[in-house]
Amino acid sequence: MPQLPVAPDVFHVYDTTLRDGAQQEGLRLTVHDKLRIARALDDLGVTFIEGGWPGANPNDTAFFRAAADGELSLRNAELVAFGATRRVGGKASSDPLTRALLDAETSTITLVAKSHDQHVYRALKTTLEENLAMITDTVRFLTGEGRRVFLDAEHFFDGYRANPGYALEVVKTAADAGAVAVVLCDTNGGMLPSWMGEVVDAAGQVGIDLGIHCHNDTGCAVANTIAAVDAGAMHVQGTVNGHGERTGNADLLTIIANLQLKYGWELVPPESLAKLTSVSHQVAAITHVQPNARAPYVGHSAFAHKAGLHASAIKVDANLYQHADPQLVGNDMRMLVSDMAGRANIQLKGDELGYDLSDRDLAASITETIKEREANGYSYEAADASFELLVKEALGQLEDFFEVVHWRVLTGDEAKDDGDSEAVVKVRIGDHTTALVGEGNGPLNALDSALRSALRLAHPAVDTYDLVDYRVRILDQGHGTDAIVRVLIDMTDGIRTWTCVGVGSNVIEASWEALHDCYRWGLAAGAGRDDS
């Protein structure tokens, strides 16, 4: 195994979710959103949080104003304003966008500058000499005003390939003007890890601290970042969950975990590293971008095991099929229950949910039941609540909170104030049987209303239950509208969320099965119950 690099005396973890990440298609952050994300990043312990481009973006200007007015109190991180070098032919001291950087009242400013000669000619429409003068003038002006300056060398790697002398001159110019670090940007994301070392090493000969900023267009943003660190970069830029333009930026959470758990560098305290998964989910909730279940370290599936062979090995030692302890990053190992499951999967899944399935015959019986039901279309890997109901039933621990005697639903094209569907659900609770009618928009809504009404008096906790997701999948596509369907329903009491599955040739029947089991699990688990 190659010798791992020693951590530099100073290392920057620089987040640009609020600026570069916000350029992702379909993503728009309000000032309130940005403040919430910044607090989560600060809690994680990053070194710098790039807040946006004041002066160029009204929303970003408002964010920095809110931060300066005391709405953002940072304990660990430092807020950074982002901007560009002054305009062609002007002076930094009178450039309005440069002045806006000072008005943001941050002690550190990051400037973007061209380092690819063709971008100077075609985008700036000026000379190579003027581009260098713009860098010198802007950096000197801002440092003269007491600001620390990082310089993002845009398109550096393409620029180095096209004209290495000029790309390196940009780095030297920034260093001579007083920048404390130059960040080498793979702006179009076209680099590969094996190409990074030579270029970063060449830039390092200038004698200034280097950073790295990678995009993910080749799928190598994190790997390229690590390769640049290996070559001497002491400043890494990225975004939470890899948000960003096109295919996104390097995922900062993956970078932190790799450097901390693989290299042994303590970038954040261990208790902060354990917040990695939580921060990923917090940002996903704020951005309304569904988190990637397969994201390294923090994804819902990052430590999920499905194959029976894996489960057998994990029973002996969890590390046999896991490269890291999931709890170190705030995640959990999960056993997936499916037609691939063996007895070991079922036993480990039982342990995960708090059930003793050490009895081999019992575990084997549950395994056969699962496989038989999976063959009929059920899927338990995404429906832990349905699996738990099966386990409780096998153990004789499933309490009969209610029994559905009969249900019926009617729907049509007549839209009334209470919806277009009407359901009747007849329920027996103890010795008492009641039939109640529910109306709603669609048959499932009507059934939910009727069942909830029937249960409410005996089990008032059901009023806290809400259906938050409903997914239907056709299983045998060749049968058209006569196909078997699988329905997954997510329900919450505002604290916990659970998922149940239903299967049938009738989509309403399958939906009813999943809905019915969601109520059964909720009552069995005490969801929504006030025991205070």
Asked whether residue 532 carries a pLDDT value surpassing 50, the answer given is: no
Asked whether residue 519 carries a pLDDT value surpassing 80, the answer given is: yes
Q: Distance (Å, rounded) from C-alpha 18 to C-alpha 27?
A: 11
pLDDT of residue 80: 98
pLDDT of residue 1: 60
* pTM metric for this prediction: 0.73
Q: Distance (Å, rounded) from C-alpha 27 to C-alpha 19?
A: 11
Least confident of 85-89, 235-239, 357-361: 357-361
Asked whether residue 382 carries a pLDDT value surpassing 90, the answer given is: no
pLDDT of residue 293: 85
Write the DSSP string, 280-344: HHHHHHHHT----TT-TTTSTTTTEE--HHHHHHHHH-GGGS-SS-GGGGT---EEPPSTT--HH
- Measured torsion, CA atoms of residues 33, 35, 38, 39, in degrees rounded to the nearest 10: -110
Select the CATH number that applies to the domain covering 12-287 from these four: 3.60.20.10, 1.20.120.1200, 3.20.20.70, 3.90.1150.10.
3.20.20.70
pLDDT of residue 339: 46
Question: 89-132: per-residue pLDDT in tens?
Answer: 999 999 999 999 999 999 999 999 999 999 999 999 999 999 99
CA distances from 31 to 59, 63, 81, 214 (A): 6, 5, 15, 26
Most confidently predicted of 157-166, 438-447, 492-501: 157-166
Overall size of the chain counted in residues? 532
Asked whether residue 160 carries a pLDDT value surpassing 70, the answer given is: yes
pLDDT of residue 36: 93
Q: Distance (Å, rounded) from C-alpha 34 to C-alpha 18?
A: 6
Asked whether residue 309 carries a pLDDT value surpassing 50, the answer given is: no
Least confident of 37-41, 413-417, 458-462: 413-417
The helix (run of H) or strand (run of E) holding residue 224 is helix 221-230
E strand intervals along 387-496: 403-416, 419-429, 432-440, 466-474, 485-492
Asked whether residue 451 carries a pLDDT value surpassing 70, the answer given is: yes
Residue spans of the domains in the chain: they are: 12-287, 304-375
Q: Distance (Å, rounded) from C-alpha 192 to C-alpha 200?
A: 13
Tokens of 92: 């930094």
- Strands 235-238, 209-214: pairing is parallel
Buried/exposed code over 53-86 (b: 16+ C-beta within 10 A; e: otherwise):
bbbeeebbbebbebbeeeebeeeebbbbbbbbbb
The helix (run of H) or strand (run of E) holding residue 144 is helix 128-144
- What are the residues whose beta carbons fall under 8 Å from the beta carbon of 187, sequence distance 6 or more? 154, 155, 156, 158, 213, 215
Conformation bin of residue 219: beta by default, left when phi > 0, alpha when psi is -120 to 50: left
Secondary structure class of 381 (helix, strand, coil): coil
- Measured torsion, CA atoms of residues 121, 122, 125, 128, in degrees rounded to the nearest 10: -20
> Side-chain half-sphere of 507: how many Cα atoms within 13 Å?
13
pLDDT of residue 332: 78
